[in-house]
Structure 1
């Protein structure tokens, strides 16, 4: 099982079946906040959907194709972050994340994304880490910008978000850049 202690306040853990109720509750409490930028909220309407997400996350991890980890802040479930995809051929990890509505303003996601970036380079031996965010999502874009990622461009109409397309911006960090920053 994956567990990664970031610091005294933060820890990442692979989700387990017993986490379904708490994760669904956090998702449900944050629904209107998350729905502005994430397309999957209409498909997560009951605890069973969260159980399916957890099962899929565990398969993704077992198959060494990605990692969805629960973020615990001071022992409380705060969100999800990890690698949406691990591309072993090209040595690229694609980071994704979301934070519950009541957990913003504590530096949680910046520290989490920093830890995931470092883990990708030092433990997984990746050459590249990518973070994509909707062009209008300033809070999500601030994370890679704070960490010194390079803005690499905009992908037009990259994602269908309920009733419209949104552009994505892509940020990248290379292993050498991370070591020399």
Structure 2
């Protein structure tokens, strides 16, 4: 969870999910309240989680999926060094409609350079 330091209120979350220990990979998911967007909070959190994932958990690959229309989320992936793999068409259902998702990845070797 991500907290506002001055009020101790939760303003967002970040986590690893679909952790695959055998293949040393996982997905990163994040969310932040709209009033805190654009302040580089999520980008900083992603970088910290990447460092932890590669250095402590010894993962080799991290993936981020972002709705193609979620421009801020796509910017976070690119800003933190993830590379676009491609777009998964009609990959999930959200709000009763199919959504296209961009898939990004980051390898440990690229992060540690």
TM-score range, shorter chain: over 0.9
Q: Which has the larger radius of gyration?
A: 1
1:147 shift after superposition: 1.1
- Within the candidate set 76, 83, 88, 1:155 is matched to 88
Matched, 1:110 2:43: yes
Counterparts of 1:108 and 1:177 in 2: how far apart (Å)? 22
Segments of structure 2 that go 5 or more residues without pairing to the other structure are: none
Which residue is equivalent to 2:100?
167
Matched, 1:140 2:65: no
- Within the candidate set 1, 7, 16, 1:83 is matched to 16
Segments of structure 1 that go 5 or more residues without pairing to the other structure are: 1-69
Which residue is equivalent to 1:122?
55
TM-score (norm 2): 0.93
Aligned residues of 1:73 and 1:108 also touching (Cα < 8 A): no
TM-score (norm 1): 0.59
Higher helix share: 1
1:76 shift after superposition: 3.1
1:100 shift after superposition: 1.2
- What are the residue-to-residue correspondences of 1:40-55 with 2, within 5 Å? none
CA RMSD, 1 decimal: 1.0
| Matched residue count | 111
Give the match's secondary structure for 1:119. Answer: helix
Query: Which of 1 and 2 has higher RCO (CA within 8 Å, sep 6+)?
Result: 2
